Structure 1
Amino acid sequence: MQRVEHEIQRLIKEIDYDEVTRLFDMLSGGKRLRAKLILKIAPEQKNAPLLAAIVELIHGASLLHDDVIDEALTRRGVASVNATDGSKTAVMLGDVLYSKAFSELVQFDKEIAKSIASSVTSLSCGEMQDVKMAEEFNEDEDKYLKMLYLKTATLIEAAAYASALLAGKNAHSYGIYGKNLGLSFQIIDDILDITSDSTTLGKPAMNDFVEGKCTLPYIHLYKELNKEDKQRLKNSHAKSISEEEVLWIKAKMKEHKSIEKSYELAQTLSNEAMLAVKDDVELIEILKTMIKRSY
């Protein structure tokens, strides 16, 4: 990971613009899940740290744009770039990171480069779908999971697939692992948005629903409610809600086991990912650690 961080800093320095360096230094590195995944799949490959750095720049760019779209004032507990320097600057910084990542990606084999580049197209489409779906209450689980796959899982899938190609491993199996890891990871995040407090999250609790996002627990809850309660839930969608409504939603979720049902899907996806790489102990451990974040 030290080599990955060194590569990231090298790429930022090569851009040769002090403002980019200043703004990038403000960003929190986060979990570096995608980078760690690449290093674990292709530990002996000399270009693995560079590939990991490229993927992290892409991920960072997507988060910058995501914060602008969501008008988020914080990211991982610190002020977002759009909060400190404005949305225009945040968008342009994201564009710089994307373009630098792509300029470095051309050094790799065509199939590796294509898998990463295609995932960026997918995540951008997923972001568009997410924005569109937030315009009204969504009760369609399949529609939500498709969006989740595009927006979140595709880059993790591509990172696993590309690093397997780099290492001469079964790229298809590792791609399945990455896809399911990405989906289950985001479902757990959806759960935590409801069950954790704002200090732990680094953002307001139940912020997803306030922003108009009907994540899996809300979709499961809606299916179980009577007509009157369905309308009450819809009335709270995409707006600041009172503490009374927060407590009502949480109570109904507890009554109908909405969190548990969402967790079951995350566990099923995780189990499928484990089967895809059943001989890779370290990757299986990543899944086990991730799934435990829910409680």
Structure 2
Amino acid sequence: MRRCNQCIVERMDSPVPLIPQLAAHLVAAGGKRLRPLLTLAAAKLCGYPGTAEGGTRHVALAACVEFIHTATLLHDDVVDESQLRRGLASANAVFGNKASVLVGDFLFARAFQLMTADGSLRVLEILSRASATIAEGEVLQMATQNDLGTSVERYLEVIHGKTAALFEAACRVGAVVAERPQLEEDALAAYGTNLGMAFQLVDDALDYAADQAELGKTVGDDFREGKITLPVLTAYAAGKEEERLFWRRVIEENRQDENDLEQALDLIGSTGAIAATLDQASAYADRAARALAVFPDSPLRRLLADVASYTVSRGR
């Protein structure tokens, strides 16, 4: 991870001053670096030699994965008009929307430079497909916004696109660089997909259950934006007619008063929507851990299984 972070900082450099300035703001905000960590761990689990033995592809591709993720965050914060990211002012709040979009484009370009430098068409296929799927997921989320008629299946399709697809790709390329058989590649892809689904479900639950310091962004952002998430769908389905009228006003009609978020939190709490969402996340986390069964037992395999468990524990 130290080598990966070094690669990230080096590749964020540019003679255009605003780019490293905005990049430094992102680096200072921290972040879990979970996606690049998955690439490094997957490669190691598959026996890829570490940097001490001369293997460096996994480090560059882990940085590539983080660039794709960060680029999407920059664009998302502009689309969502977010003011906080990882507990600090978002890049668009500090530098403006234009700079955030353009630096996001720069990071996408850097990601593709790293892909082509790797030289593997298979890696390029995996990561470019994930990039397209992320964009499709975000557009699909925009299409379902303010629509309480959205099915749970469509919601799951959204979070698979916007989140799980990159988790899957991050894990899959670890097996590819290690030149492992299709069985192991598919197992790691399944692990990543299910982990990503669990991760996003917990994030959606936390938007209605966490405090702002814990969440790292403004609590209730999804509510104010009219995003359709599982807590809302669950509360709406379980609600009485009066409660459904409330949800239609604040989500579909986007007419919200000062105290509506508090009422939404009460309704989500009283209908058990958070518990139902976390139960769904737990099911995905269990599938992620089971997908690793094709690998021999090892501390690293157990650690990856623990990552899935920890992902759900954030919401408990």
TM over 0.5: yes
2-structure distance, mates of 1:247, 1:98: 38
1-structure distance, mates of 2:255, 2:284: 31
> Would you say the 8 A contact 1:55–1:101 is kept in 2?
yes
- Which of 231, 250, 253 is equivalent to 2:268? 253
Equivalent AA in structure 2 for residue 210 of structure 1: R
2-structure distance, mates of 1:104, 1:16: 19
Q: Where does residue 7 of structure 1 map in the other structure?
A: 7
TM-score by length of 2: 0.88
Q: Where does residue 102 of structure 1 map in the other structure?
A: 112
Point out the more displaced range, 88-97 or 4-13.
4-13
Distance 1:134 1:52, change over 3 A: same
Equivalent AA in structure 2 for residue 84 of structure 1: V
**1:123 maps to 2:134:** yes
> Cα distance, 1:139 vs. partner?
3.8
1-structure distance, mates of 2:94, 2:220: 24
| CA deviation map 1:86-105 (0-9, x unaligned) | 11111100001101110120
> Cα distance, 1:18 vs. partner?
2.4
Q: Where does residue 302 of structure 2 map in the other structure?
A: 281
> Cα distance, 1:262 vs. partner?
0.9
Unaligned runs of 5+ in 1: none
Equivalent AA in structure 2 for residue 22 of structure 1: Q
Q: Where does residue 95 of structure 2 map in the other structure?
A: 85
Equivalent AA in structure 2 for residue 16 of structure 1: P
> Would you say the 8 A contact 2:235–2:267 is kept in 1?
yes
- Which of 131, 147, 156 is equivalent to 2:158? 147
2-structure distance, mates of 1:144, 1:241: 26
> Cα distance, 1:114 vs. partner?
0.7
> Would you say the 8 A contact 1:209–1:215 is kept in 2?
no
TM-score by length of 1: 0.94
Equivalent AA in structure 1 for residue 248 of structure 2: K
Q: How do 1:165-204 residues align onto structure 2 when only pairs under 5 Å count?
A: 165-169=176-180, 170-204=184-218
1-structure distance, mates of 2:146, 2:227: 9
> Cα distance, 1:184 vs. partner?
0.4
Distance 1:49 1:241, change over 3 A: farther
> Cα distance, 1:273 vs. partner?
0.8
2-structure distance, mates of 1:250, 1:86: 31
Q: Where does residue 52 of structure 2 map in the other structure?
A: none
* Equivalent residue pairs, number: 293
> Cα distance, 1:240 vs. partner?
4.3
Distance 1:140 1:289, change over 3 A: same
> Would you say the 8 A contact 1:141–1:219 is kept in 2?
yes
**1:32 maps to 2:33:** yes
Helix, strand or coil at the partner of 2:217: coil
> Would you say the 8 A contact 2:207–2:222 is kept in 1?
yes
2-structure distance, mates of 1:273, 1:25: 34
Q: How do 1:67-82 residues align onto structure 2 when only pairs under 5 Å count?
A: 67-82=77-92
Helix, strand or coil at the partner of 1:294: coil
Q: Where does residue 23 of structure 1 map in the other structure?
A: 22
2-structure distance, mates of 1:240, 1:204: 17
1-structure distance, mates of 2:255, 2:152: 21
> Would you say the 8 A contact 2:85–2:217 is kept in 1?
yes
Equivalent AA in structure 2 for residue 172 of structure 1: D
Identity of matched residues, %: 31
> Cα distance, 1:168 vs. partner?
3.0
2-structure distance, mates of 1:155, 1:42: 16
- Which of 271, 277, 280 is equivalent to 1:265? 280
1-structure distance, mates of 2:255, 2:218: 13
2-structure distance, mates of 1:100, 1:138: 39
> Cα distance, 1:120 vs. partner?
0.2
- Which of 258, 274, 279 is equivalent to 1:242? 258
1-structure distance, mates of 2:166, 2:134: 7
| CA deviation map 1:157-214 (0-9, x unaligned) | 1011111111233110100000010010010011111111122223322221111112
1-structure distance, mates of 2:4, 2:192: 19
2-structure distance, mates of 1:83, 1:127: 21
| CA deviation map 1:140-159 (0-9, x unaligned) | 11111101100111011101
| CA deviation map 1:264-293 (0-9, x unaligned) | 110111111111003421210111111110
1-structure distance, mates of 2:192, 2:284: 11
Q: Where does residue 43 of structure 2 map in the other structure?
A: 42
Distance 1:107 1:215, change over 3 A: same
| CA deviation map 1:72-131 (0-9, x unaligned) | 122111122211221111110000110111012012311112101100000011111112
> Would you say the 8 A contact 1:210–1:241 is kept in 2?
no
Unaligned runs of 5+ in 2: 50-54
